[in-house]
Amino acid sequence: MSIIKPAPAAPTDTGNTAAAGQRTGTGGRSRGPARKHFGIHIFLTVMAAMWLVPLGWTVFTSLRPKADTDKYGYFSLGGSFNFDNFVEAWTRGGFAQYAWNSALITIPSVILILFLASMMAFAVSRVSWKFNVTLLIMFTAGNLLPPQVLAAPLFQMFKQLELPYSVSDSGNLLNTYISVIAVDTAFQIGFVTFVLSNYMKALSSELTEAALVDGAGIWRQYWEIILPLCRPALAAMGTLEVIFIYNDFFWPLLFIQSGDRLPLTTAVNNLQGQFLSDYNLIAAGAMITAIPALIIYLLLQRHFVAGLTLGSSKG
């Protein structure tokens, strides 16, 4: 997207921001005189500033030592700024364990989701058989249910399923990562199947027919022809699902009872209990939890946005 240089004299000619406002709807997309954009800029700048306040306040609080805020007050610039709160929150709060738990849940879930959903998407979009649309509808609908609808039966199913204590120290599936991974996977394959099947439908049918003439079986068509072509969609879905699962609060809350097995997002629930009214530490803990998501955002923003919009391209 190119940025239009505004005419130099324009900002002084504020004239009427009302007129600018009226014309915001479309205006000349390529002309874009700065006079018209002046009102828009003011509005956007104010909004952006408001948008940054909560996160900015958290960062600000997290960087100040508790002693300084006690001395100067929370609403002051006095005192020093450092990362001591992050270090203390990390060690006292057991964040290393939470971060590891997040990885243990997120990585297998995303791999399973991409693998299972791409198989299913291939089967419903590239092979025509009787129930493929029906199944795709069932998959898509499943992802739209509120998770709380399934909570009681899933909890009881996992509780009643007895496992040897060598596998699970609870004697059943509760309090295990497997329970969270399984449900996250089941819940998300619907959405990813839907998106990938739309993507695969758009690929030319000649691709697999040519392979068929060469004697390629279903698996080779899927694994060697279609999947490599889906790389952009897989990258987008992978990024999106990493964030979705990393951010999932509910399933670990329901299934995991031991505090030291919680992932970062669900452990956020305990921050206030852990650090009582030491808001500097709470802020540092919140920032630690935000950092993985923000890093992925900075590195993979393109894929994340592509993933969100891919999901909405049909309807």
The Cα 33–Cα 23 span in angstroms is 12
Q: Which of 68, 166 has the CB closer to another protein? A: 68
Q: Which of 19, 166 has the CB closer to another protein? A: 19
Give least dist CB 96 to another protein, A.
18
Give least dist CB 253 to another protein, A.
8
List Cβ neighbours of 143 (8 Å cut-off, separation of 6 or more): 187, 188, 190, 191, 194
For the four alpha carbons of 169, 171, 173 and 175, in that order, the dihedral sign comes to negative
Quote the tokens at residue 151.
């909570």
Q: Which of 88, 166 has the CB closer to another protein? A: 88
Q: Which of 149, 166 has the CB closer to another protein? A: 149
Give least dist CB 261 to another protein, A.
16
The Cα 126–Cα 282 span in angstroms is 50
Give least dist CB 169 to another protein, A.
20
The Cα 208–Cα 220 span in angstroms is 10
CA distances (Å), origin 244, targets 106, 122, 248, 265, 312: 9, 23, 6, 11, 16
Q: Which of 168, 288 has the CB closer to another protein? A: 288
Q: Which of 103, 151 has the CB closer to another protein? A: 151
Give least dist CB 304 to another protein, A.
8
Residue 10 burial (C-beta neighbours within 10 Å; 0-12, 13-18, 19+): middle
Q: Which of 127, 167 has the CB closer to another protein? A: 127
Q: Which of 159, 229 has the CB closer to another protein? A: 159
Give least dist CB 202 to another protein, A.
14
Q: Which of 167, 294 has the CB closer to another protein? A: 294
Give least dist CB 82 to another protein, A.
19
Give least dist CB 166 to another protein, A.
24
Q: Do the beta carbons of residue 53 and residue 31 sit within 8 Å?
A: no
Which string of b and e fits 102-120 if b means at least 16 CB within 10 Å?
beebbebbbebbbebbbbb
Cα Rg of the chain (Å, integer): 25
Give least dist CB 114 to another protein, A.
12
Q: Do the beta carbons of residue 154 and residue 185 sit within 8 Å?
A: no
